[in-house]
Amino acid sequence: MPLPTIRVTRDEMRARVALFSEIEGFDGGLPDSDHPDAKRTLYNVVGFQPPEGSDAATTSPVGAKAAEKAAIKISEGFNLGYCKARPGKGPMMHNHDTNETFIPMTGRWECSWEVDGKVETFELGPHDVISFPPGVQRRFMNATWDEPDAEHLMMFVIGGDGPKAEFSPDAMAELRDRGLVD
């Protein structure tokens, strides 16, 4: 059976176009947003509506502010965003209830995960890809050490229509110790 053909006007299609120059980035709204090593700007490009049941440790992968401002507001089974950060910066350990895939656009990025009490890491460059399954504690960090003042860009794709991010117990304990969360 052939797929249905849908007619979409140019104006209707414009609602599904996100020009990077028009996307608002956010640097807050996540438990680790004020941690000095986690400073970053998140861009909600496709999807990322606020999930149900958020709390201090569990939130939208892009944070509350960015979740409300998707550039392309659709719920079609995936979400896409960007993270811009300086070297040494990126989120603290967290996991998702769905798949998360990282694709560096510029610079070098260290993608890490926890297994059996230790941290494993792959370093990726532009257009390389790493895909984490649901439930794996992971983080990423700009590792472009030879450009200490340059921000670089990482794309991330997360499955689902309302995915949740949950920061690890160790990350939440550190944030509480620093007085950054209650």
Closest CA to 88 of 36, 165, 33: 36
Q: What is the CA radius of gyration of the chain?
A: 17
Q: Read off the tokens for 101.
A: 């895939």
For residues 61 and 138, the answer to whether their CB atoms sit within 8 Å is: no
CA pair distance 86, 64, nearest whole angstrom: 22
**3-state secondary structure at position 74:** coil
Of residues 122, 126, 89, 88, the one with CA closest to residue 106: 126
174 three-class SS: helix
pTM over 0.85, yes/no: yes
* Encoded tokens for 142: 């700009």
Helix, strand and coil in the chain, % to nearest 5: 15, 35, 55
Q: Where does residue 156 rank: exposed (0-12), middle (13-18), buried (19+ CB within 10 A)? A: buried
For every one of its 182 residues, what pLDDT tens digit does the chain have, with 9 covering 90 and above? Answer: 998 999 999 999 999 999 999 999 988 788 898 999 999 999 989 986 666 665 555 666 776 677 778 899 888 888 899 999 999 999 999 998 899 999 999 999 999 999 998 999 999 999 999 999 999 999 999 999 999 999 999 999 988 887 888 888 999 999 999 999 88
Asked if 159 and 78 count as a contact pair (C-beta separation under 8 A), the reply is yes
